[in-house]
Amino acid sequence: MKIALGQLESGADIRANLAAIDRFAAQAARNGAALVAFPEYATYEKKKMDATFPEVAEPLDGPVCRELAAIARRHRIALVAGVVETSEEPGRAYNTLVAFGPDRGWLASYRKIHLFDAQGFGESTFIKPGPSTDPVVFEHGGVQFGLMTCYDLRFPELARSLADAGAHVLLVCSSWVPGEHKTEQWLALNAARAIENSVYVAGVCQAPPVSVGRSVLVDPMGVVEADLGLEPGVRAVEVSLETVDRVRESFPMFRQRRL
């Protein structure tokens, strides 16, 4: 199966962001991808988080998600993207990943559980952590995909729980905040999660200046199969269940670990 990484340069214009998602989804489908993944905050993003995030938030059956579902249907491709979802708490929203299928509609949603309160960045001021730590995995085309969001990448127990739940590919949808050594950490952590869980990791990031770019697909041996660099773009890359099985047979960590 081919999956595509869609590296966006999202801003505060929701309609423009949806138009970019539509263009990239169309290109991914033309390139033979069965699924395209977009970053965290794909539909609304700013360099600095503020009160407008909960103000623009919508329920998951609102206009933004309806348009994302329509894009998936129109281009006959599964689509994963980050949205701002309304919560029950005034002044705070959920940072949510949604997944739509090309014909079945809704596939999954995941509310980010590890909020980025670091480097002087207080995501939890305006975003509410997801109440459930249960791993979110969905199937498409015979492949199991696990959902993670940005700062989650620093918490290896979440990636392991997704692998335990059957994930072959981890979709790490991100807007990785720039800073000293942050690009190096982004690349190293994507590779680490792939190697230690014998999975593919698709780390899909916002482009500079809001984020670091460098969206990557890492195979279960830690080999970087694609790196999108710093500019917005989309690229389709092959993932193979046979590769996952072969690596897990060579390194049978799931049978050998002692808890």
231 catalytically annotated:
no
From the candidates 9, 45, 58, 112, which is the catalytic residue? 112
150 catalytically annotated:
yes
User: Distance of CA 92 to CAs 12, 113, 114, 143, Å?
Assistant: 17, 14, 15, 34
From the candidates 40, 45, 58, 123, which is the catalytic residue? 40
Give CA–CA dist 153/107, Å, rounded.
22
Type of residue found at 103: D
Q: Which residues of 119-146 are buried (b: 16+ CB within 10 A; e: fewer)?
A: eeeebeebbbbbeeeebbbbebeebbbb
DSSP state of 6: E
From the candidates 65, 150, 173, 205, which is the catalytic residue? 150
Question: Is beta strand 224-227 parallel, antiparallel or unpaired with respect to 35-37?
Answer: unpaired
State CA 16 to chain mean position distance.
20
40 catalytically annotated:
yes
Catalytic residue numbers read 40, 112, 150
